[in-house]
Structure formats: structure tokens, C-alpha cells
Amino acid sequence: MKQLRILLAMALLVLTSGNMFASSHREAPITALDRSADVTDWYAFVSYDHPDRVTMILNVDPLLEPANGPNYFPFDPNVLYEMKIDNNRDGVEDITFQFRFKTEIRAPGVFTGFVGGIFGIPPITALNGPGSEGLSLRQTYTVTMIKNGKVTDLTGGNTLYAVPSNVGPLTMPSYNSLFNQGVYSLADKVRVFAGTVDDPFYIDLGAAFDSLNFRMGVGGILSPQVDADDTHNYAPDSVAGYNVNTIVLEVPISMLTSDGKLHGPGEKEAVIGTYGATSRPKVLVRRTNASAAAFQQVNREGNSLINELIIGTGSKDKFSTDDPKNDGQFAAFFLDPLLAHLFNSVLGIPVPPPPRLDLLPLVQYMPPICPGCGPNDAGPIADLLRLNTGIPPTPVGKQKRLGFLVGDVAGFPNGRRPIDDVVDIASRAVAGILVDSVKYGAPIGDGVNINENGYGTSFPYVMPANSGRNSHHVGPGQDGCSGQPNGICPVN
């Protein structure tokens, strides 16, 4: 969801990035200065095919143009990528998974990062060994777990390769096979994947940020027919055809809970709070003798949209660099979101008066996500994506894009799956649907109901990267809205 911040970014401020956007708009806060550390989305859910495991997805570096050679968008070796889990409701992480990347340039004389099928170099069909000769730019990574102060290397002697972007069919004739080679099974039922993939996020950014100027007859307030449609798009998905860098990790629930056991949905121990974060080494202009190992957080995401839609612009950077446990300082934004007033004035719908205590379950441990939590279990206000690990996954095919709002309780805001339509869900939550689903239940939506590339049904749950040669984006007036006549996306 942070893509929208980037889309707002003026090219002026985008540093040494491969971003193809030169569109002039206001500049977003400084995340625009650091693409590779920009957390775009954070997901956590009980694995569809393994109800005893949790999958977490950390997406970084937004709106990657698949055709943007020659080097595409590697992970940043200076960034520490982290997944953090609170399991005792104090808002502080108890378990941290860390990912560190290294870049090797195997053929420094070659003009591009990836080559194959020409110059006598075989097509790229493998991440290592024969068939990998054309992978000049290659990245490896390590996985580390920190739990109770103990550091465990989960890499376990494996060499883990990040999956490169999909250059095109001549260079990478069986890209899906490369994608599959990037799935690694480590010890203790841990699986991991890292690489460039199709961005699973979907939204009509242009309309949303033109002051909620949703496409007429479609967005704003959805018709019952459009609202009920979980398989077609009625407005252009601004993210369609773009890639993102992802790290996907699956671990047993027993590795995450405070007592190492599985719990039923009614037990508070079943609920964890999660977030993804990026950090960089802390730098002082004048060097000191102190340890140089200190890291400083650059960005984080718990609940999608909190930073983008709720936190005031002047505080976004402070929010990004601070810890969730200190989010009480932003309580005023949660309890009286400006967006609710916008909905009221622009869409003309009623919204509940502040203080919006109904939004607290997003930032505290309480029902309905944590039915087992009493008044003393709420913990501090903290933007964590809360997941009740005791709620079994909804089988593929029965999952609903509106998740929790329509009874698919394994969906957002109980964790978040790639299929969950966080734009529509969060908009409705802000408009007050949790207070009174009739009075404040207007079906707000952008008309983008699916990710056109679909969703993975098993680990790593993301879809292979869009082809640099053969993919395209979707815009107003263009093909790409399967719910509209002839598939043409509306302009107005």
C-alpha cells in the first residue's frame, strides 16, 4: 500500500532509482529517498495448506517496472530486513527474523545483470550450477532468528538464492521453474523464498488520491453487484504489471507462541502481533569510538494503510522510524481519522463521531480478533497486524476479498492474505462499519476487486514476476477491467 506514497513522489526526489515515473506530483515524505528500504506491504496468515504454520510476507521497493534493465532491482545489501512478532501482548517483539543479502557480480564485463540465449551463454534455467551462467548479478541471503536474546542461524548451511526479475522468454525460457527453485525448505518445517515477484497489491491509486475521485458508476459507493464480485475488476488496477521485491517465510505456529504450543481461537495465547521493518546502519557525521553495529529503523508496516491513510503527513516519518510500542503518541490520528471526515464530505455518507474507539481492535489486543483478551490484555496502542493463529484458514475458493467483514474470519484484519481487499475493508472500517454495519455500512470501494495475475494457493503464495518483455500495465481507457464491457477500464 505504500506504493501510493511513491506514486506521489516527484521524480526530483527519487534518488538513483530505476523508477520510471517522472510524473510530477507533490513529493511524499522521505521514504521516496530510500526505495529499497520502503516497506510496501506486510502480510501474515495461517498457511492455507498447513493450519499449524504461519506465513509472513514482507514486500519492499514499490512499483518495479519489469522492463527496467539492465540490472533491475536487487535487494539492498546495506538494509536489514526484519519480521517481528509480539506473542505476549506488550507491543514489543519477542521473536525477530532477520534477512541479510549479498550481491555478487559474476561476469563484470557483461553489460546487463542477466543474459542468456545469446553470445554462447545458455538461457538462464537455474539459480546455481549449469544453466545459471547468465545470472551475472546474483544475490544470496541468510535467515536468522532472534528469540529470548538467542541468535539462531536458520540458513543451516544452505546457500539461499534470491529469484531474479523475469527478463523475458529468450533469457529465461522457463521462468516459473526458476521461481520454484527459489523455494527453500529449511530445518524445523521452515520455508523461505526471496526474490522479485508480481506485486499482489491492487488499487485504483489514481482515483483514490485524486481526492477520492472514484470512477463514476463504479467506485466510491459500489453497487451490490460489483461489491459481491470477487473475480472481476471494474476500475484500473494501478499496480497491475508491476513487480515488487518479496521475502516470504513460513514457520510453525509453535515457533511463535509464547509457550510453544498451539491454541484454540478463544485463547488469548493464540493471538500474535506482527510487523515488517527495514533498518540501516546508524551513521554519525563525526565518527565515534562507539560500536558501529547500531541500526536505525527506516520503515515499518503492521496494518496496511495505517501509515498512509491515518497518520498525518507531518508525522509519517516519525511513525516510520519509531517502534510500535510507542504508537500511543499517534492515538489522536486513530481516534479521529481525517479520512472519515473526507468520506463524509466527499462521498456524503454519515460517519460516527470521534473518539473512534471502534478502531482500537486494529491497534490493541481485544475482540473480535482476540476473543480471549480481557480488559487487562489490550496492551499499548501499537500498529501490529494481529493474527489469531487458532482460527483455521479458509480453504482456497471460499476466501472472500472482504475478509472479516463478510464472515471470512481468516482474512483482514485478522492477519492479512494477498487476496484481502485492504483498500475496501480499511475504507469501510474508517467509515464506521464496525460501529454499525447498517448505519455506517456504505459499501465504499475503488472497483478494483482482484489482482489480475491471481494469487498463489500454496507457499510462497505470491505469483512469479511479470515479464520484462511481454507485460503491460493497466490504465483508464485501456484493456484490463474484466468486469466492464469489452474489458475496457472506465476513465470517468
Assess contact for 310 and 339: CB atoms under 8 A: yes
- For another protein, the closer CB: 296 or 329: 296
- For another protein, the closer CB: 75 or 201: 75
Q: For residue 266, how many other CB atoms are within 10 A of its CB?
A: 11
CB 30 to another protein: min, Å: 4
- Among residues 419, 164, 379, the alpha carbon closest in space to that of 272 is found at 379
Rounded CA-CA distance 238/202 in Å is 7
Rounded CA-CA distance 72/13 in Å is 20
Cell 536487487 maps to which residue? 74
Omega within 30 of 0 (cis) for the link into 368: yes
CA angle 414, 419, 424 (to 5 degrees): 75
In degrees and rounded to multiples of 5, residue 481 shows phi and psi of: -120, 90
- For another protein, the closer CB: 68 or 326: 68
CB 300 to another protein: min, Å: 13
- For another protein, the closer CB: 84 or 416: 84
CB 377 to another protein: min, Å: 34
Cell 545458455 maps to which residue? 122
- For another protein, the closer CB: 43 or 73: 73
Assess contact for 25 and 209: CB atoms under 8 A: no
CB 105 to another protein: min, Å: 7
Residue 334 zone, left/alpha/beta (φ > 0; ψ -120 to 50; rest): alpha
CB 19 to another protein: min, Å: 4
- For another protein, the closer CB: 37 or 419: 37
- For another protein, the closer CB: 283 or 438: 283
Burial level of 395, CB count in 10 A (0-12/13-18/19+)? exposed
CB 178 to another protein: min, Å: 20
- For another protein, the closer CB: 30 or 347: 30
- For another protein, the closer CB: 285 or 438: 285
Longest dimension (CA), the chain: 69
- For another protein, the closer CB: 89 or 316: 316
CB 486 to another protein: min, Å: 28
CB 301 to another protein: min, Å: 16
- For another protein, the closer CB: 109 or 129: 109
- For another protein, the closer CB: 98 or 394: 98
Rounded CA-CA distance 176/199 in Å is 16
CB 149 to another protein: min, Å: 24
CB 487 to another protein: min, Å: 28
Rounded CA-CA distance 436/445 in Å is 18
CB 282 to another protein: min, Å: 6
Q: Which residues bind another protein (CB under 8 A)?
A: 10-22, 24-27, 29-31, 33-34, 36-37, 68-74, 76-79, 103, 105, 111-113, 137, 279-287, 296-298, 314, 317, 321
CB 314 to another protein: min, Å: 7
